[in-house]
Amino acid sequence: MLHSTSLGSGFDDSFVLLHSLGLDGRVWQFVGPQLAHRARVVTIDLRGHGASPRSVDFSIEEMADDVAETLTRLDIDKAIVVGLSMGGCVAQAVAVRHPGFVSGLVLADTTAWYGPDAPQAWAGRAERARANGLRSLAEFQLERWFGEEFRVQHPDLCGELLECFAANDIDSYASACHAMGAFDGRSEIGSVAVPTEVVVGEHDPATPPEHARDLAARISGAGLTVIPEAKHLTALECPDALVEAAERVRNRL
């Protein structure tokens, strides 16, 4: 089973939070406590990340199956699934492959497809990590994750995230890169019929707003929020926006 951490108790409702590439459940440190006043909150370390088992040669769909297995073992029948970046791809796959578990979705800074050059681009990132080490990508990551003002104001948090990123198992990280490059949920995401909110930073360089608009257009009734000035890790840079999106989904149930 994947490693998970729970907040809140005595609630009927549940939120399940899925993190971005190379990080772990700590990306939800500003979102989880706010949601825990309203529902049970479970943060999951996805396959190959954080305290979950290391793994190679896996797909986004297999990561979604891992999440469904973990929810079964946690006795969670249904939850609002909140996914960030890679976690948003996994959340889409959970909703498509295991719809019975999903009462609603929040898809943040993510996409249904990274584009025609995605396999080569993601393979290149995996190769750079293998050749030069994960620490060689540190500045690249920070500039994509956050705007300059946030980086200046939160040096300790940025340092913590880079340590988390650098601690990844290189084979697991490379496999996750290849999984993201291969992901294409466009043909199936239209089957999702639960309340959904799509959120993206205005200046997200990894999954720009046009990806979010396309994703929202494919899901009937999905809401779309573009957060001014924000970049890629909105769960940390603009946590209130994600909390509000999660609450909008919950209010539609």
Residue 9, pLDDT above cutoff 90: no
pLDDT, position 8: 87
DSSP designation for 113: B
63-86 pLDDT tens trace = 999 999 999 999 999 999 999 999
Report CA torsion sign: 33, 34, 37, 43. negative
The distance of Cα 43 from the centroid of its chain, to the nearest Å, equals: 11
Q: Residue 237's closest CA among 71, 43, 29?
A: 29
Is residue 106 a contact partner of residue 222, using CB atoms and an 8 Å limit?
no
Q: Domain 4-251, what architecture?
A: 3-Layer(aba) Sandwich (3.40)
Q: What tokens were used for 62?
A: 């297999």
196-207 pLDDT tens trace = 999 999 999 999
DSSP designation for 184: B
Is residue 167 a contact partner of residue 133, using CB atoms and an 8 Å limit?
no
Q: Which residue has the tokens 């929810």?
A: 71
120-166 pLDDT tens trace = 999 999 999 999 999 988 778 999 999 999 999 999 999 999 999 99
In the sheet with 223-227, reading across from the earlier edge strand, the strands are 4-7, 40-44, 14-18, 79-84, 102-108, 196-201, 223-227
For residues 170-188, average pLDDT? 98
37-47 pLDDT tens trace = 989 999 999 99
Domain range list for the chain: 4-251
pTM of the model: 0.98
Residue 87, pLDDT above cutoff 90: yes
